Amino acid sequence: MPVNKRSKGDTTLCRNFCQYYKPGKNEELTCRGFVVTHRIMQKGRRLSLERPDMLSLPDAAMVEALRRILCGACEFREGDCDFFLTGAATPCGGFVLLSHLLGTGELTLAEIEES
């Protein structure tokens, strides 16, 4: 089920990590990465939504596992997501943030899968 950003009241993740985010555009639907990040934070985890100067990236196997977890359940996957469809496009902001948090060790794949 899609999550309405307006009901969540915060698009900081989108502004700081998503190249597809357009302020003022109808942005009610969210990527799976936004949903997962929001759920992790609802469980009490404090995650920084500020974009660092340098993103940390996990290894290729972890990126592929994250892709399986997030993209497999994302509302944008089949119709709108060039990252999923072609693999050549930049991923959504939620994917970028979660990849970074995996790369720094702040989150684990298990925590992401549980959300």
Residue 2: pLDDT band with limits 50, 70, 90:
very low
Q: What is the DSSP secondary structure assignment for residue 24, as one 8-state letter?
A: T
The residue that leads in pLDDT, 23 or 2, is: 23
User: How high is the pLDDT of residue 105?
Assistant: 95
Q: Which residue has the tokens 């003022």?
A: 24
The answer, yes or no, to whether residue 7 has pLDDT greater than 50, is no
| Closest alpha carbon to 34 in 82, 89, 74, 87 | 74
Whole-model pTM: value is: 0.87
User: How high is the pLDDT of residue 53?
Assistant: 96
User: How high is the pLDDT of residue 6?
Assistant: 46
Token code pair at residue 80:
């709108």
Q: Domain extents for the chain?
A: 5-114
User: How high is the pLDDT of residue 3?
Assistant: 47
At 28-87, the pLDDT tens digits run 678 899 999 999 999 999 999 999 999 999 999 999 999 999 998 888 887 778 888 887
| Closest alpha carbon to 69 in 82, 84, 48 | 84
Helix (H, G, I), strand (E, B), or coil: what is residue 2? coil
Distance of CA 11 to the CA centre of its chain: 12
